[in-house]
A and B are shown apart, each in its own frame.
Chain A
Amino acid sequence: MGRILILNGSPRAPKSNSKQYAEIFIKKCPAETKYFNITKTNHAEICDSIKLVSDLLLVFPLYADSLPVTLLEFLKYLEKHHPKNKPTVSVLVNCGFIEPQQNDTAVKMIRLFCSKNGYPFGSVLKIGSGEAILSTPFRILVCAKIKKLVYSVIKKRYLTLSVTMPISKNMFIRASTVYWENYGKRNGITKEQMETMKIEDF
């Protein structure tokens, strides 16, 4: 069994959903794992660790339909500092909207990075409703899919998987409205204030 390096590309990595997804992966993984939050200053340190692994798992949120700048910057660095033995790259991406396929473009970008730079491409798990799903009973669906992802990576039988809340879109919209309303409430902000049409003071 090889070693797996897990990189969290969320700009809020220490408090991110991606961190929780990565933790589930680590818990279920019988192989040795190493985990990093990508920061502006640790690209070189991460590249040192990449040399030592057979697999790389990129865990990140969808940002404006694509890769967060945090991850993009790291990939640009890696492109200039390739390890001799390139690991297989797998992806665990989550987005706020319910449709896991909204992550497809971001996955294609990682595939392109891999094919351009000679990294074998591995498995994918696309999570929809990823902002909130872990705090719902549907968490077990996510855990089951992450377990599948783990075994696809360690057995090198790579798969493309997806998971989301198994509810209708209208129900998702209602649930997400309550989720965000409560988020505002915790900051002392009402729904009406959150609905302001003003941007800055315009």
Chain B
Amino acid sequence: MKLILSDKHINILLQKNSDIELIDLSKCKISNCIGCFGCWTKTPGKCVIRDDAVKIYPKIAASDKIIYVSKIAYGGYDSVMKAMLERAIPVQQAFIRLLDGETHHLQRSVAEKTAVIIGYGNIPDEEQDIFRELISRNAKNMNFKNYRIVFTTEDKLEQSVEKEVLKWEEY
């Protein structure tokens, strides 16, 4: 499955019958994670908050190709995308393993991903460096096999997303 997860509406035309799903998080009801660990210790694999996030994290888990589209804030994801990523921890188990010499959680049934992260805004170099560092850390917790980061401005965002989708459709 291929998924585009965006924090704002993007106007792109997807080919008919394509297996690409586009989710506009700004239209979804996603409240903040409350850190209760219910998804690990009470109802494993399920978040106790039953809003739109519970339909989205299974799709994130199932995708082997994924594009994240997010505004950048202080070198990280801005609130809309960040809230979704925090709500996605039911895809992991509580239990910890060693990965590349570091401690990380075991994953449930999460497909290995080729990820493209499109960060938009006016992003100075220092902020881009922090975002790169963040994604290299996320890669371990979010099961990225490989990833690419694209920085763009808000007015060129749709073109940037379209370019990445075209690459998917070519292969």
Contacts and interface: CB of A to CB of B under 8 A. Distances in A.
Contact of B40 (A70, A76, A194): A194
Nearest to B43: A189
B133 interface: yes
Interface in A155-202: 169-170, 172-173, 176-177, 180, 183-184, 186-187, 189, 193-200, 202
A75 B74 contact: yes
Contacts of B103: 97-99, 169, 172-173, 176
Nearest to A115: B126
A38 B35 CA distance: 14
A135 to B, nearest CB: 15
Contact of B75 (A108, A173, A184): A108
A66 interface: yes
A190 B8 CA distance: 40
B83 to A, nearest CB: 5
A20 interface: no
A66 B76 contact: yes
Interface residues of A, number: 50
B134 A66 contact: yes
Contacts of B104: 97
Contacts of A194: 40-41, 44, 93-95
B90 interface: yes
A198 B130 contact: no
Contact of A202 (B37, B62, B101, B134): B62
B73 interface: yes
A72 B74 contact: yes
A83 B82 CA distance: 27
Given A11-B32, A184-B41, A198-B108, A109 B76 contact: yes
A12 B62 CA distance: 29
B125 to A, nearest CB: 11
A109 B41 contact: no
A177 B35 CA distance: 19
A133 to B, nearest CB: 14
A97 B77 CA distance: 21
Nearest to B35: A12
B41 A105 contact: no
A189 B96 contact: no
B42 interface: yes
Interface stretch (A57-65, A118-126, A144-152): A57-65
A180 to B, nearest CB: 4
Interface of A: 10-12, 16, 61, 63-70, 72-73, 75-76, 97-99, 102, 104-105, 108-110, 112-113, 116, 169-170, 172-173, 176-177, 180, 183-184, 186-187, 189, 193-200, 202
Closest 8 CB pairs of A and B: A180-B94, A12-B35, A65-B137, A66-B76, A197-B109, A97-B103, A109-B74, A184-B41
Given A64-B89, A199-B91, A200-B90, 19 more contacts: A11-B33, A64-B86, A64-B138, A65-B141, A68-B86, A72-B78, A76-B79, A99-B102, A102-B102, A109-B74, A109-B76, A172-B96, A172-B103, A184-B41, A195-B95, A196-B44, A199-B45, A200-B57, A202-B58
